[in-house]
Amino acid sequence: DFEKLKIASIVQQGELNSIIKAKPKEFKELLNAVIGIDKLDVASNSMKEITKDFREKIRDKIGYDDTHTDILLRDLEKHQNELEEAIPKKEHLREEHKKLQQDIASLRIKLEEDTPKIEKVKQLELRKQELQSYAKAAIKEIQEEISEKERKIQDCEGCFQNAGLKNDLESKIKKVDLAVDETQKKIQELSNQIASLKEKQILAAKLQLKDNRCPVCNSEVEKLNPLFQEDHLREELVLIQEHIVATKKEQEMYNKKRLEFAEKLQNSRDAEAILKAHSINNEEELKIIKEEIKVKKTSVQKIPHFSNSSLLEIAQMDSHSKIIFENISKLEEAVKGFDESEFTNLKNSINEKQTNLSQIDQQLGAIIEKISKNEEQLKIIQKAITELKTVKEYMVQLDSIQSNIFSRDGPVATSLRSWALNTISAKASEYLTLLNTKIQRMQLSEKARDITITCYSKNEVLDVESLSGGEQVSVALALRLGMAKLLGSSNLNLMILDEPTTHLDAERKKSLVEVLSQLSNISNSEMVMQFIIITHDAEIFEDSTVEKIYKFESAEKGSKVTAL
């Protein structure tokens, strides 16, 4: 293993003393690498992967792993508490549910008993309204009958007197008509006379006496016939016209009389028609109607205003009202003691309790579901916990293997380091003895997570920091050789040092070469070491017992090696 060989047998530039200059924790990591404890990390990681895969399989199977045990126990306690709280609630709700059902059933019986009564109450109100309507209709009918009779009396009163004048008026009209006709004839005759007189006037104007002689026969006459005298004719014409005016006035008077008689005749005829329309034949019948009106008005006044107390009085109106009243009495007896407001309160109470029952049903359903879920979860959790107990046992074993075998600070690693530290300490102490230093023994020890180096002379414990440069180099070489021995690489008896004098002053450089020379010159062939030193400081080999020195130079054809 080159990496391990490099730790002890190949010293890179400036790294010779680094092994004793390293921090305790770094030295421990170096030791772990030497004895292969770092390989435990691979096994530890593999173990972690195994543990992780195992947990994942458990989670896939039951939904939990061993790390959830505390959570499951808390959940178990939580569900148990919820179950303990829910069960009494369920029982309480069931008791309430049962009591409500009993109350509702009892109230429903009462409701069923009273429901027909509410219908009868409605019928009772309808019958009362019917009786009231009937009474109102009867009153209205009587009032209308009274109004009709009063109107008949009003229409017929005075009609008998007018109706009795009909014949007389008709006779008078006939007489007036005859008078009118006579005056008309008279006027006509007078008009004819006027026409005749006018013709005579024309003729008279032509028949004028000349020298007392007739204009026709020329005979001698004393005077003309008055019929041919113009003055006489004019006088006659005036008299006839005055007679016509007087006759027309008389005719106008007859016409007025006729209109007056015609109007009275029409009134008479109307009165006769009214009496006939009302089927009134005489005044006695009107008297009977007046008596009937008095009776009707008296009966209307006797009908009381509608109320429960007046039902009996209203029932006395007629047989129909009596039948309605009897139905009302039967319905009142059927609903006796029934209170409609109490019935309404009963229905409201049932509805309210039914609502409460529905709410309790919902609560009960919710609590039963909650109990069911809790019981189901308890079974799941209890089953999981039972299985996880077995898993936990396996995980404890795996964790034990992890911590005791594969852990860097476990018993196995600690024992290996203890053995390695003792082995390296023993071998390093042997090399220090061969180097003739004042250090007789070296001890490596592990404390907590650190490894310390302690050097011992004959009489005292030596701190590494207090050693001289040469002594520190000797300690470093002894340690590396001891580690190489542990690795099994000491069979090579070889150590390669690259620029080991870097950061050393001239004295320390020479000290380093002297120490290496001493190790090379040891006569014990089994322990003889070979050192290959690669350096740019050629002066360190002056006055030294180094066996061979080679110089390497760059050339065109490659590196040039020269033995010095």
pLDDT tens for each residue of 356-412: 989 999 998 999 999 899 889 889 888 888 888 888 888 888 888 888 887 777 888
- How many helices (H) does the chain have, and how many strands (E)? 15, 8
Is 203 part of any domain? no
Is 511 part of any domain? yes
* Lateral strand order in the sheet of 450-456: 441-447, 450-456, 461-462
Interhelix angle 230-277/69-156, rounded to 10 degrees, is: 130
Q: 498 — phi, psi (to 5°)?
A: -105, 115
Q: What is the CATH number of the domain that holds 481?
A: 3.40.50.300
CA distance 471 to 511: 9
Residue 152: what pLDDT? Answer: 75
CB atoms < 10 A from the CB of 383, how many? Answer: 11
Is 135 part of any domain? no
Least trusted range by pLDDT, from 71-75, 370-374, 420-424, 491-495: 491-495
Is 173 part of any domain? no
Render the burial of 154-173: b for 16+ CB within 10 Å, e for the rest. Answer: eebeebbebbebbeebeebb
Least trusted range by pLDDT, from 13-22, 50-59, 465-474: 13-22
Residue 15: what pLDDT? Answer: 67
9: DSSP letter: T
Residues 261-287 have a mean pLDDT of: 75
Which residue type is seen at 508? R
User: Strand pairing of 494-498 and 461-462?
Assistant: unpaired
Residue 212: what pLDDT? Answer: 59
- 14 or 262, which is more confident? 262
Query: Tokens 């004959």 — which residue?
Result: 458
**Does 127 score more than 60 pLDDT?**
yes
Is 512 part of any domain? yes
**C-alpha dihedral, 474 to 477 to 479 to 480, nearest 10°:** 180
Query: Tokens 């109102």 — which residue?
Result: 136
CA distance 197 to 475: 205
Is 142 part of any domain? no
Average predicted confidence (pLDDT) for the chain: 78
Residue 141: what pLDDT? Answer: 76
CA distance 207 to 197: 14
**Does 126 score more than 70 pLDDT?**
yes
CA distance 257 to 278: 31
Q: How confident is the model at residue 205 (pLDDT cuts 50, 70, 90)?
A: low
CA distance 401 to 413: 12
Of 38, 15, 23, 141, the residue nearest 453 (C-alpha): 23
Q: 344 vs 104, 114, 125, 468, 540, CA distance in Å? A: 15, 11, 17, 117, 125
Phi-psi region of 410 (alpha: psi -120 to 50; beta: other; left: phi over 0): beta
Strand, helix or coil at 308? helix
**Does 551 score more than 80 pLDDT?**
yes
Q: Structural domain of residue 495, as residue ranges?
A: 2-38+408-563
CA distance 7 to 5: 5
Q: How many domains does the chain have?
A: 1
Q: How confident is the model at residue 219 (pLDDT cuts 50, 70, 90)?
A: low
CB atoms < 10 A from the CB of 280, how many? Answer: 20
Is 387 part of any domain? no
Which residue type is seen at 66? D
CA distance 175 to 280: 31
Is 535 part of any domain? yes
User: Strand pairing of 494-498 and 10-11?
Assistant: parallel
**Does 256 score more than 80 pLDDT?**
yes
Cβ contact 89:359 at 8 Å: no
Of 328, 367, 290, the residue nearest 90 (C-alpha): 367
Cβ contact 261:172 at 8 Å: yes
* Tokens found for residue 110: 């009462």
